[in-house]
Amino acid sequence: MLPRTRRAHVSSAQAGDEIRKRDRVLVEAVRAGDRDAFSKLVSHYQRVAYSVALSVTGTHEEAEDAAQEAFVVALERLDECRQPERFGGWFLAIVRTRALNLDRRERLRDTEELPRGLASQVPSPEDWVERVELRSRLSEAVGELSSAQREILLLHDLHGWKGREVADRLGIAHGTVRAQLHAARRKLRGILREGAVEATAADSTDRERVI
């Protein structure tokens, strides 16, 4: 009997092979005119597309918009997917691009809507992190991670994906996933620890002023 870790490795590898085989069949079916096959692709990737977009935009509404736009683009450009079995990585690259473009448009619009000269005076989230509760601090801390780190952290820790599943879907090496996940968690702990210290110091100062 194989050791438990070896069995898990084999199981993950088999799952990855099945996903690639499934995607190849579905992509080829869509190219042949089967719209139901595309609906199945949407069903398989809707959740991960949203998570990837959310890691870039940071908001529910923009993440949904970016994911929907990405599906439209993927359908229109499906002939450009040279390796149908690697549809996942190809599609998620589109998701990231749409999310980045949408995020830039939203940031530009928000800046343009501010009174002239005030854009640079708006306090950053970091200026207020010591005043908010743990949930808000965590949200801001995640925002400090790189896009790749946020993406992997959300998929692995929030949605419960295994490392090899994340690697297969994102089209990267399993070792890269582990390294990025470790770096993201370490950075997150550091940011939260620093925020907690600053919040404690700020509270102490406020109490001294009251006294």
Residue type at 113?
Answer: E
58-61 long-range contacts (CB < 8 A, ≥24 apart) are 58/103, 58/143
Encoding tokens for residue 137?
């601090």
Q: Which residues, including other chains, have CB under 8 Å from residue 169's CB and lie 6 or more apart?
A: 19, 48, 88, 89, 92, 155, 161
Report pLDDT for 9.
Answer: 53
CB atoms within 10 A of CB 178: 16
Please give the pLDDT value at position 210. Answer: 41
Which pLDDT does position 204 carry in this prediction?
A: 47
Going residue by residue through the chain, which has 211 residues, state the pLDDT in tens, using 9 for 90 and above: 556 555 555 466 677 789 899 999 999 999 998 888 888 898 889 889 998 888 888 888 888 888 888 898 888 889 999 999 999 999 999 999 888 887 665 554 444 444 444 344 443 434 433 433 555 567 677 778 888 888 888 888 777 778 888 888 788 888 888 898 888 888 888 877 776 555 454 444 444 444 4
Domains within the chain, CATH numbers bracketed: 12-117 (1.10.1740.10), 123-211 (1.10.10.10)
